[in-house]
Chains A and B, each alone.
Chain A
Amino acid sequence: GESVGLHLPTLSVQEGDNSIINCAYSNSASDYFIWYKQESGKGPQFIIDIRSNMDKRQGQRVTVLLNKTVKHLSLQIAATQPGDSAVYFCAENLRGGADGLTFGKGTHLIIQP
């Protein structure tokens, strides 16, 4: 089965608020994680990545937090905008495994005006 999953299939937030999308992974040997954004009819768009030797990484309006103790990953989006509406996937790579990414099922982020 999949080792990466998301807590909520849908997350609704007000425009301008901060969004937090969570992801739980079960494989403690995973050493690399990525967040992707996928809009309808398009391929996944790279947002931010983090390696297992880090706890936090920041990008433009986004922050990824990695808690290896509880095998939890989160994506924080600051000042959510209508263009942030999409399905968000976390993905992991198992250290020493085939060099592919294992994706969860995704969280649909809906922005309320």
Chain B
Amino acid sequence: ETGVTQSPTHLIKTRGQQVTLRCSSQSGHNTVSWYQQALGQGPQFIFQYYREEENGRGNFPPRFSGLQFPNYSSELNVNALELDDSALYLCASSPSGGPYEQYFGPGTRLTVT
């Protein structure tokens, strides 16, 4: 069974640029959630995708957007990057829509300068 994978592992961007992060869900999982984790904090929910539709969203502005593909992999896009967007971005997959049994990937470390 393959776990959740994310790419890239590290990324450095300049303020105002755009970034795309990628996630492959665990085998058999059809739901992907994205979280932002600032240093020393717990993860914060960005949004969830279930069957290629956004299924719920946390308190993040519209410049955070996403996609889910028919194979259940997902992308997180962030436009107009700000310094405060520097964080670990985590993807979690689960076997069904909803909050249950979310398994996390290793994350992408984004640094905005």
Residues of A within 8 A of B (CB): 2, 4, 32, 34, 36, 42-46, 49, 89, 91, 93, 97-106
Of A43, A45, A91, which one neighbours B42 at CB under 8 angstroms?
A91
With the chains together, A102 CA to B41 CA distance in Å? 12
With the chains together, A93 CA to B98 CA distance in Å? 9
Of B43, B97, B103, which one neighbours A99 at CB under 8 angstroms?
B97
Query: Which of chain B's residues have a CB closer than 8 A to the CB of A104?
Result: 42
Closest-CB distance, A100 to chain B (whole angstroms): 3
With the chains together, A91 CA to B44 CA distance in Å? 10
Q: Check A100–B58 contact: CB distance below 8 A.
A: yes
Interface string of B88-100 (1 = CB under 8 A from A): 0010000001111
Report if B107 contacts A (CB, 8 A).
Answer: yes
> Given A44-B104, A46-B103, A93-B99, 19 more contacts at CB 8 Å?
A43-B90, A43-B105, A46-B101, A49-B100, A97-B56, A98-B45, A98-B47, A98-B48, A98-B58, A99-B33, A100-B45, A100-B46, A100-B47, A101-B33, A101-B99, A101-B102, A103-B42, A103-B44, A105-B42
Q: Check B100–A32 contact: CB distance below 8 A.
A: yes
Number of interface residues of B (CB under 8 A): 29
- The 5 A-B pairs of least Cβ separation, nearest first, read A100-B45, A103-B42, A98-B56, A93-B99, A43-B104
Q: Check B104–A45 contact: CB distance below 8 A.
A: yes
With the chains together, A98 CA to B40 CA distance in Å? 24
Query: Which of chain B's residues have a CB closer than 8 A to the CB of A49?
Result: 100-101
Interface string of B29-41 (1 = CB under 8 A from A): 0000101000011
Query: Which of chain A's residues have a CB closer than 8 A to the CB of B107?
Result: 42-43
Q: Check B56–A99 contact: CB distance below 8 A.
A: yes
CB contact under 8 A between A103 and B98, given known A43-B106, A45-B104: no
Of residues 1 through 34 on chain B, the ones whose CB sits less than 8 Å from some CB of chain A are 4, 33
Query: Which of chain B's residues have a CB closer than 8 A to the CB of A36?
Result: 104
